[in-house]
């Protein structure tokens, strides 16, 4: 169980076939291995060995792909950095991971300037862009050209392979430690679950720093498919790449699916090569997936659910669930069933499995579960209990093993001993025509512990009162779940980098001691 084994197998069986296509550059698997073994030698000479960390802050490219293999080849650990972060967050990730080397492209040179003097461990910065290498940086292509290929250090199994940072919407970011075993296991699980096959052409349109696309990086190499890379998602670029390269598979987050299938030109592109689209990472509105199924009737859609802590794949609902009639009609709303190799269950607060249909915390166990949070043993112990990864997601499982994700556990309100899922209340409020945006939180209440409070933004020309909204909710959900109070705001809700509403911020005024705000 070494990440580089899949690369070697791809070289063996398809040495002269195309491994990657990016920005007009084609690389065969033989060329890719040669370049990776040379880059590994360069990284090794810069101290990336024996578990030392090399971070990358860049848009997608074939060099990003090479980095994902050269780092373990040299014996190092990769640290892909979220490209949407602000400079102080990047600073935290680099320092927390103790990265000795940073790879960076043109887009992030200004950030590098802003971090001058603030990085504790970064000793070398490698420029992975296509222009002239800026002064003081090492040129990627020159490193590859000047280092003879090294032998694979053959790091594997329980050795740390990568740190994937997560969180940040509440509390500080956490480095998720994924071993070779974790990531190799995930790629095994992904092959049947995502329908990966050796003749596939995978489009990397989603950002490669994210574990969701990372899962494809290792999975596509496992089947010796072809990687097609575009620097970043844009609807036209994606449609164009599909048509030009005959893309068979890709992964998109719901907003990307929305932008593609609702692009005014979508029907002018030949998308007939697409066999499978995987989506996940945030809820998929029904209208969008139904539209996608109309636009690409021959494409099999797969709804994937997971967490970075799970390397990431936990469950999928595949093409058999993306139907509008029959016994599986609408099953795409489910986050699916456990992929092969994953033990999945729903637990109550005492760690006991709940009956089917009962809401609890989604937990999974198996070789896909992270080693832990980087240098945070206490947080690790709170998250992995008796081998079970506690996802923090509330959901239930139906009789056929399909799970449904309801809410984040931390957004659950406990009022008078009853568990109330904020998402359920929000879903009710969103059905009121006056509501543009809403968030439901628990606020302190002496009698009930917490009481349900809604924060609502209304359409400019559609007034609604607190009483009216509460009455509306009562017509849809049980009384104890309905808001006891509503506050109105004109400004949009505060959002995280990932576009999620920052409930922590919304809770702050109500919880002066922060006891509910941080977790």
Does residue 78 bind a second copy (CB under 8 A)? no
Beta carbon nearer to a second copy, 223 or 435:
223
Figure out which of the listed residues 114, 191, 423, 502 binds a second copy, where binding follows CB under 8 A. Answer: 191
Q: How many residues bind a second copy (CB under 8 A)?
A: 32
Neighbour tally for 199: CB within 10 Å = 10
Least distance to a second copy, CB of residue 340, Å: 5
Q: Identify the three-state secondary structure at position 5.
A: helix
Neighbour tally for 115: CB within 10 Å = 19
Beta carbon nearer to a second copy, 6 or 55:
6
Neighbour tally for 448: CB within 10 Å = 17
Which backbone phi and psi does 363 adopt, to 5 degrees? Answer: -130, 145
Least distance to a second copy, CB of residue 222, Å: 5
Figure out which of the listed residues 312, 366, 392, 395 binds a second copy, where binding follows CB under 8 A. Answer: 366
Distance, CA of 63 to CA of 433 (rounded, Å): 48
Beta carbon nearer to a second copy, 17 or 91:
17
Residues in 14-73 at the binding interface with a second copy, rule: CB under 8 A: 14-15
Does residue 399 bind a second copy (CB under 8 A)? yes
Q: Are 473 and 453 in contact (CB under 8 A)?
A: no
Measured CA to CA in angstroms, residue 123 lies from 117, 119, 147, 228 at distances of 11, 9, 19, 32
DSSP state of 501: B
Distance, CA of 58 to CA of 102 (rounded, Å): 10
Q: Are 197 and 225 in contact (CB under 8 A)?
A: yes
Beta carbon nearer to a second copy, 181 or 503:
181
Residues in 126-165 at the binding interface with a second copy, rule: CB under 8 A: 157
Compute the radius of gyration of the chain from its Cα atoms: 24
Figure out which of the listed residues 375, 385, 400, 500 binds a second copy, where binding follows CB under 8 A. Answer: 400
Measured CA to CA in angstroms, residue 431 lies from 31, 256, 345, 411, 457 at distances of 55, 24, 31, 20, 13
Distance, CA of 204 to CA of 211 (rounded, Å): 12
Residues in 192-211 at the binding interface with a second copy, rule: CB under 8 A: 192, 197
Cα torsion 470, 473, 479, 481: sign: negative
Beta carbon nearer to a second copy, 6 or 58:
6
Beta carbon nearer to a second copy, 12 or 244:
12
Least distance to a second copy, CB of residue 34, Å: 16
The stretch near a second copy (CB under 8 A) out of 49-57, 183-191, 286-294, 484-492 is 183-191
Figure out which of the listed residues 40, 194, 338, 413 binds a second copy, where binding follows CB under 8 A. Answer: 338
Residues that bind a second copy (CB under 8 A): 1, 5-6, 8-9, 12-15, 157, 184-185, 188-189, 191-192, 197, 222-223, 337-338, 340-344, 366-367, 397, 399-401
């Amino acid at each position: 169980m070494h990440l580089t084994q899949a690369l070697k197998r791809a070289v063996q069986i398809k040495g002269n076939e195309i491994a990657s296509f990016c920005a007009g550059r084609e690389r065969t698997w033989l060329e890719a291995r040669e370049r990776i073994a040379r880059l590994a030698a360069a990284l090794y000479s810069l101290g990336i060995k024996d578990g030392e960390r090399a971070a990358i802050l860049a848009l997608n490219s074939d060099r990003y792909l090479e980095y994902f293999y050269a780092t373990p080849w040299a014996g190092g650990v990769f640290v892909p950095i979220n490209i949407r972060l602000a400079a102080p967050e990047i600073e935290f990730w680099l320092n927390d991971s103790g990265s000795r080397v940073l790879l960076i492209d043109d887009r992030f040179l200004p950030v590098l300037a802003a971090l001058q003097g603030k990085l504790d461990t970064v000793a070398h910065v490698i420029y992975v862009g296509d222009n002239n290498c800026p002064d003081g940086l090492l040129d990627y292509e020159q490193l590859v050209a000047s280092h003879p290929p090294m032998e694979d250090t053959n790091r594997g199994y329980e050795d740390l392979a990568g740190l994937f940072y997560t969180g940040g919407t509440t509390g500080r970011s956490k480095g998720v430690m994924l071993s070779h075993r974790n990531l190799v296991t995930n790629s095994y699980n992904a092959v049947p679950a995502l329908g990966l096959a050796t003749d596939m052409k995978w489009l990397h349109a989603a950002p490669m720093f994210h574990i969701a696309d990372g899962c494809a990086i290792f999975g596509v190499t496992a089947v010796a498919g072809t990687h097609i890379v575009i620097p970043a998602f844009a609807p036209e670029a994606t449609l164009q790449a599909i048509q030009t390269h005959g893309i068979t598979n890709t992964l998109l987050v719901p907003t990307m699916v929305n932008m593609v299938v609702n692009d005014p030109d979508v029907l002018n592109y030949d998308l007939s090569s697409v066999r499978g689209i995987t989506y996940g990472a945030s809820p998929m509105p029904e209208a969008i997936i139904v539209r996608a199924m109309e636009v690409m009737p021959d494409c099999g859609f797969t709804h994937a659910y997971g967490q970075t802590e799970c390397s990431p794949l936990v469950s999928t609902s595949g093409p058999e669930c993306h139907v509008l009639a029959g016994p599986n009609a609408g099953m795409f709303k489910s986050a699916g069933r456990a992929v092969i190799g994953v033990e999945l269950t729903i637990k109550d607060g005492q760690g006991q499995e709940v009956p089917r249909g009962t809401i609890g915390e989604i937990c999974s166990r198996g070789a896909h579960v992270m080693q832990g949070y980087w240098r945070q043993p206490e947080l690790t112990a709170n998250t992995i209990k008796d081998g079970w990864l506690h996802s923090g997601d509330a959901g239930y499982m139906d009789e056929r093993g399909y799970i449904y994700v309801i809410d984040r556990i931390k957004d659950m309100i406990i009022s008078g001993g009853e568990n109330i899922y904020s998402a359920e209340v929000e879903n009710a409020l969103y059905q009121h025509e006056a509501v543009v945006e809403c968030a439901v939180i628990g606020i302190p209440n002496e009698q009930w512990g917490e009481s349900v409070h809604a924060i609502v933004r209304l359409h400019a020309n559609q007034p609604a009162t607190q009483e009216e909204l509460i009455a509306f909710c009562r017509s849809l959900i049980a009384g104890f779940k309905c808001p006891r109070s509503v506050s109105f705001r004109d400004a949009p809700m505060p959002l995280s980098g990932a576009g999620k509403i920052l409930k922590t911020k919304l809770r702050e005024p109500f919880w002066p001691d922060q006891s509910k705000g941080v977790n």
